[in-house]
Structure 1
Amino acid sequence: MKKLTSIAMMAILLAPALAEAQQHRPGDRPSQSGQRPPSGGPGGPQRPPQPQPGPRPPAPGPSHPGGPGMRPPAPRPPVARPPAPRPPVARPPHRPGAGRPPNFRPIHRPPFQYPRGYSYRRWSIGGLLPVLFLSSSYYYDDWYGLGVGAPPPGYRWVRYGPDLLLVSLRTRRVVDVIYGAFY
């Protein structure tokens, strides 16, 4: 791993020097800014001005952008498209607070046994359900048979007497009520 890292660092450090070496071809003269101006004062030799080379004719070779010293760009691989979205699951939509769904069917079940100290109470959205009812003996998992949608993650359908409540497990708040779900 250390060898690979050191080789990568060397390549990074040498890349600018190699690129500059490729830019200067043999026979090219350095730019005028790097040369001293001819001296014209006494005691110094006077040099005649040297002719500047004109533009070079294009070199024969393949015609592609960048000139003869450059390679054509490599073909790009095809871009992968993201997978198509999954089709929605065919189940009734759940809209909290909308009451009974259109395909709702009340179900006959045995009478509800209230715990000691509790009797029927008509729950409304926003109420806090006692912790006692957030247990598996009060959860209602046959939501498909009633024609209501599956509870969202973190929520459960809870049976309370003849009613079905959708409750948040984290806050114990009643999010939806379906009155008369059981007879």
Structure 2
Amino acid sequence: MKKAVLFLSIALIVLPDVALAQQQQDRMQRPSPPTTRPAPPSRPTPPKPENRPQPPRPGGPSVQPLRPGTGGPSVQPPRPGTGGPQIQPPRPGTGGPAIQPPRPGKPQPPRPVKPQPPHRPGAGRPPHFKPIHRPGFQYPHGYRYRRWSIGLLLPAIFLSSRYYYDDYAYLGVGAPPYGYRWVRYGPDLLLVRTRTRRVVDVIYGAFY
């Protein structure tokens, strides 16, 4: 009798646990409902538009898409009002911008030379004397530079228009007195009396 009661008590204790485990196992074996919503039906995608020429942007040329049969993109020049500089082609007959030739300057008149009184023999260099540049001197055959002094006789070959010097005013020297001539001998200027060929004055270093 006691054993029957014991078995019944055990059965009462175990049966609820077995029923609970069976219910949990049934729940696990059932398929779980889907948690995500079904995707909406896909809409048909419209066809892509063909490449159409884009309007030119300000400041530069626009590149057009490739056209059938052209072989490459065409570059359009900037239209007026786009912001880029407008280059005007040369007009017919001009050939380009006209370049004005430089205007010739007005010729400067030679500076007037203040005339000096006749040079006095033996006076030497005047206070306002200034050497000037002249071409090289060609000595006659057989002659070379010699330092002449007052009182010596100049050879007659130098008493000719080839050796006379008449631009004495640019040196600041007065005109030769009557019967005298200024004669260039190398870098020096000699005042010579033409009748006697005597040297009456010498200005050394008158030319360079």
Per the normalisation by structure 1, the TM-score is 0.50
Per the normalisation by structure 2, the TM-score is 0.44
Instruction: Decide which structure has the larger Cα Rg and report it.
Output: 2
Q: Bigger relative contact order, structure 1 or 2, given CA contacts below 8 A and separation 6+? A: 1
